[in-house]
Every structure is written in C-alpha cells, then in structure tokens.
Amino acid sequence: MDGKPLYELGLKICSESPQYMLDTRADIVFNLANVASETNNFPGTLEYVKEHLDLRLRLDEGKLLPSADTGIAYSSLGLGLLLTGNYEEAVRQCDISIEIYSQQPDTLDGSFYPTFPHIHRAMALTGAGRPQDAEQGLLGIIQWREAQYGPDDTESFK
C-alpha cells in the first residue's frame, strides 16, 4: 500500500484554501519528504524538505521563538542535503535545528531529546569525512534513552 496518492490528494485539498491550511500542508509535505527519503528519492526529498521549512517559517511569523516543528524542519533539510551529498551545509542546518530544540520547554526540562537532528548531523559529518566529531551527540541520545527506558530499549527504532 502506497500512501503517496493520499498525501497528494491532501495537498490538492489544501491548495484550495492555502491561507487557512498552512499547518496541514506543512504536515503533509513533511510526510511526503519522509516517503521520498525512505524510498531512495533523494532529489525529491530535498524539494519537499525545502518546502516544509518554508511553510514552518511562515507559520512561525510573529512568534517569539521558533517552534519545535521548525526545529524538525531544519533537521529534515539537513537530511535532504546529506542525501544529495551536500554534507557541510547539512551539518549547518542540523546545528540550527539543535539550537532551536535547546530552547523548547520539553528539551529544557529533560523530557525530550532531539534525536533526529543529532542522527542527521552525525551522518552528514561522516559524509564530510569528520566522523570523530559525530560521536558526542550520539552518546547524548544513548544517555537520555537509557535514563528514560533502560539499556538496549525497544521503545522505538530511533
């Protein structure tokens, strides 16, 4: 079962009232980016993640701080860039993502750890030939997960 046609139908519906459905459109584009990345469509991934970030930034207009959704949009842009071989720029986008997450209440109180930005950053650093710089962020994830779920958890595949 391929979910892509359903997402594309969702985008079509959103396009009929673009000014009122920005958040729904952003969610759908994010999912399409994930479909593209999981199915080896790397140029398609990059297109979707760029659109996703653009939508999240528009939704953030007027807010004091960027949202967690914008944090994941920068991380996803990092993914799109690393999948298309632009590793150093991918690292920069993941750093922005991590910075945004560091200001979120659930990150500050320790109930959340931004896993994907660190994973994407580590992959980008490896692609850039600097894998030794990637370990620290990953160890942070391990420590947080062990504290939350115990060693060798199967809470999720993350």
Partner 1 sequence: MLHCLGLVLLRSGRREESIQAYRRAYNNYKETVGITYHRFGAVCGKIAEYHTSLNQFEAAEYAYETPVYNPRLANINYSHFFDEAYKAYTSHLHPHYLPELARHHFIQGESLERRGDHAAAQASRAKAQELYNKIAPQTYAAVLGLDVLNALVAPWVW
- Residues found near partner 1 in the complex (CB under 8 A): 2, 37-40, 42, 82-83, 115, 118-119, 122-123, 125-127, 131-132, 134-135, 138, 141-142, 145, 152-154, 156-158
Q: Give me the sign of the Cα torsion angle 39, 130, 142, 81.
A: negative
* Closest CB 21 distance from partner 1, rounded Å: 29
Nearer of residues 109 and 152 to partner 1, judged by Cβ: 152
Nearer of residues 111 and 136 to partner 1, judged by Cβ: 136
d(CA 46, CA 114): 21
d(CA 53, CA 100): 13
Nearer of residues 11 and 141 to partner 1, judged by Cβ: 141
* Closest CB 108 distance from partner 1, rounded Å: 21
d(CA 11, CA 133): 39
Half-sphere exposure of 97 (CA within 13 A, CB side): 27
Nearer of residues 49 and 123 to partner 1, judged by Cβ: 123
* Closest CB 28 distance from partner 1, rounded Å: 20
Nearer of residues 54 and 153 to partner 1, judged by Cβ: 153
* Closest CB 82 distance from partner 1, rounded Å: 7
* Closest CB 43 distance from partner 1, rounded Å: 13
Q: Are 75 and 114 a contacting pair, CB within 8 Å?
A: yes
Enumerate the H helices of the chain as residue ranges: 4-15, 22-38, 42-60, 68-83, 87-102, 105-108, 115-127, 135-149
